[in-house]
Structure 1
Amino acid sequence: MRSKGQVPNSKGSHKTEREFGGTLGAICIPILLPLTVLFLICVSRSPDAAVVQWPPPFPSLDQLWDPLAPILLLGWISLHAFLYLLPFGKVSEGLVLRDGTRLKYPINGFLSLCLSAALLTLLLMLKAPLGHLYQLMLPLAVCAMGISFVLSVYLYVSSFWAPPHALALGGNTGNPLYDFFIGRELNPRLGHFDLKYFCELRPGLIGWVVINFGMLMQEVELRGSPSLAMVLVNSFQLLYVADALWNEEAVLSTMDIVHDGFGFMLVFGDLTWVPFTYSLQAAFLVEHPQALSALGGATIIILNGIGYYIFRKSNSQKNQFRRNPKHPSVSTLETIATATGKRLLVSGWWGLVRHPNYLGDLLMALAWSLPCGFSHLLPYFYVIYFTILLVHREARDERHCRAKYGLAWDNYCRRVPYRILPYIY
């Protein structure tokens, strides 16, 4: 549902273009998403691992709480807040804001990942029971949900003290439920500490691979050694996270940072959805071990490699063109001029499809699920969900670009007709 119009506001006109189902979505999604996370975790450890079963395998109240969970979670977030503030690595500027300024961001996420790995190594040497994370999955998820809601309320209330130019164009509709969900303020900060940027890349993303490692250690405790399937899932997803943090500066030009306000949608996604649903393959393998042949493993590695190659090469080409279109690696690429002064790539990776990075993303997502076999649907939840997410994100990007570039975008679409899959979509 999308509605357009203007309603007077003391801070300017309200923007009432609605996404994600508008008010109905803003009511239902914050209820359904937490229930979905709990349901998926329970299914991953149930004997049948059946997505469709009655009654659904929801946990009892005593399974949802452990006093250790909030200590671990708050300690983890505090650790990464401290690492974020360390004066290491370069500082980069974001894109130009509506008031003509640029915000500065510390580029030290990869260092945070390395220090997290060093901490895990130390805990292993001290024989800490890292496999206990498997038993704590539900309490940790519940605590993450609580933090997500509390932070979202704070962000909504504090946004009314933000200047008009600091509000997100899509989050200032005047509807409290929708604005709480989508996020009113674009770049909420505590001093120089950028809350959206921090949550986007730090505690949840790195927490995802830590949870995966906890699942691996639980498998070691149960069976004496990790399976090939578990090693592949851990390795593939660690590569993905390490790549994101190594190329951290690229996130400054993404839709999440540039266009979307910071509200419940992104807060819950960053702190709860990513670490506790993206780790489902590893959680599934703890209770449902899979025999994977060397040939099968090699085939899956090749698939992940192809996906990663497409994903990295296309993103690198785009980022290089944005930074320096005269660089030898991109200077010969064909482009289309726009009225804004920017140019649209119509050759190279971006002449193949409009979002070649999404194609690489989807091939990797499939490779993450294949080690879990074909007997259950649950491990393929990520592939299904991510396909829906990327198709939706592509549609949002299409609307933004059409409004921004006008006739030039129509010309671009004629030159590059396929969106994600060549000759298919």
Structure 2
Amino acid sequence: MSKQKDSELNPLTTTYEFLGPPAFSTFLLALCLTFCTIYHYGPQSFTFLHSKFFNFITASILVAFVEIVACYAASFRSGALLALGGNTGNFIYDFYIGRELNPFSFGTFDLKTFNELRPSLILWVLVDISMVCEQAVRRGGFANVTDSLWLVLLFQGVYIGDSLYYESAILTTMDITTDGGGFMLTAGILSLVPFTYSLQARYLVLIPVVLGPVHMMMILGFNFMGYWIFREANAEKNDYRNGRNPKNLKFMTTESGSKLLTSGWWGRSRHPNYFGDLLMALAWSLPTGVSTPLTYFYVLSFLVLLEHRQRRDDEACKKKYIFTLASS
């Protein structure tokens, strides 16, 4: 894996077929069923994700734990493809990072890649919608739902829809090409994402905040500036990794044959997509005000996660590129 070229993917994930129907179609189906239920039975019919919030958290943790243990045990079978950093011999670290690169891959199905976006992101937006329904019940209808909660649903819904629409882009990410299917990914994806990333919406149900048009427009602009950076930077990277260069970006070729962009977003910054992601994360928290740090958990935890990922990414790039550049 450490000698792969940028255009190469994990051999178990070289096609998009293993994911089955496009994730965006699944997302639209889930939204259609949800909105039809709410339209027919009223907002009170979809408040169960709010009222049973901690029950669902408990269930997700149990499911994640069973999956993690099963993946770790299965990694000791003969012929398992181990992750580069997940077979150190240290049980705690290997259990956390994931010992096997692609656990439970059957034919065209890969569990880790399936988990990466579909169950967590779709559940996340359904939790947000349930919070909107709960506030609608409490305040006498959707017309009385606060502008702050609508903003959170809009921002996070667009982000989730974007991620699912461009699902194939995850095949070149560190999660898929490097990290194993361990505690970090599985518990983070199945439990942390849907139930902590929706804290802003849950807070606004309990403590409604009315922003007004001026503050609302300012936060809108802040979010979509982050989205523009995030989308443009990722589009450049994904085009280039897939053999396309519509902007005629400049690049340099290393001795191993790998190519590094030296212009565009990636010529100006090491991780421009991370910066856009963080701007959006902050915009999702701003509608809740500054009375509690709880609703800023996502942006703070995301900052720690990205810093950790950047360090690992820089180390991998140092081994992959610096050596070849020095020897050329």
Q: Under a length normalisation based on structure 2, what TM-score does the superposition of the two structures give? A: 0.91
Helix, strand or coil at the partner of 2:256: coil
Partner of 2:3: none
Amino acid at match of 1:143: A
* Structure 1 residue 124, shift from structure 2 partner: 1.1
Q: Gapped runs of 5+ residues in structure 2?
A: 1-6
Structure with greater helix share of residues: 2
> 2:163 maps to which residue?
244
Matches within 5 A, 1:74-153: 95-97=9-11, 102=14, 104-106=17-19, 108-127=22-41, 129-153=45-69
**Which residue number in structure 1 is paired with residue 134 of structure 2?**
218
Superposition map of 1:169-248 within 5 A: 169-188=84-103, 189-224=105-140, 225-248=144-167
Give the secondary structure class of the aligned counterpart of 2:18.
strand
**What do residues 361-417 of structure 1 show as CA deviations (whole Å, max 9, x unaligned)?**
011011100100112111111111111111111111000100111246789xxxxxx
Q: Aligned-residue CA RMSD in angstroms?
A: 2.0
The Cα of 1:351 is off from its aligned counterpart by: 1.4
Instruction: State the distance in 2 between where 1:252 and 1:114 align.
Output: 22
* Contact 1:337–1:408 (CA under 8 A) maintained in structure 2: no
1:330 to 2:247 alignment = yes
CA contact (8 A) 2:10 2:177 kept: no
SS in 2 for 1:385: helix
Which of 400, 403, 411 is residue 319 of structure 2 equivalent to? 403
Do the aligned residues in 2 keep the contact of 1:320 with 1:330 (CA within 8 Å)? no
3-state DSSP of counterpart to 2:135: helix
Give the aligned residue type for 2:291. S
1:381 maps to which residue?
A: 297
Maintained 8 Å contact 2:255/2:325: no
SS at match of 2:51: coil
Aligned residue for 1:129, secondary structure, equals helix
- 2: distance between equivalents of 1:212 and 1:355? 29
- Which deviates more, 171-180 or 396-405? 171-180
Higher-Rg structure is 1
Q: CA deviation at 1:346?
A: 1.4
Gaps of 5+ in 1: 1-92, 412-425
**Would the alpha carbon gap of residues 125 and 385 (structure 1) be closer, same or farther in structure 2, given more than 3 Å must change?**
same
Q: Match of 1:351, as an amino acid? A: G
**Alpha carbons 2:229, 2:272 under 8 Å: kept:** yes
Distance 2:299 2:168 in 1: 26
Q: Give yes or no for contact 1:229–1:292 (8 Å, CA) kept in 2.
A: yes
One-letter amino acid of the counterpart of residue 305, structure 1:
F
Identity of aligned residues (%): 44
- Asked whether the 8 Å contact 1:94–1:252 carries over to 2, the reply is no
SS in 1 for 2:252: strand
Greater relative contact order: 1 or 2 (C-alpha under 8 angstroms, separation 6 or more)? Answer: 2
- 1:209–1:237 contact (8 Å) kept in structure 2: yes
Q: Which amino acid aligns with 2:31?
A: A
Aligned length: 313
Matched residue, 1:418: none
Alpha-carbon offset, residue 273 of structure 1: 0.3
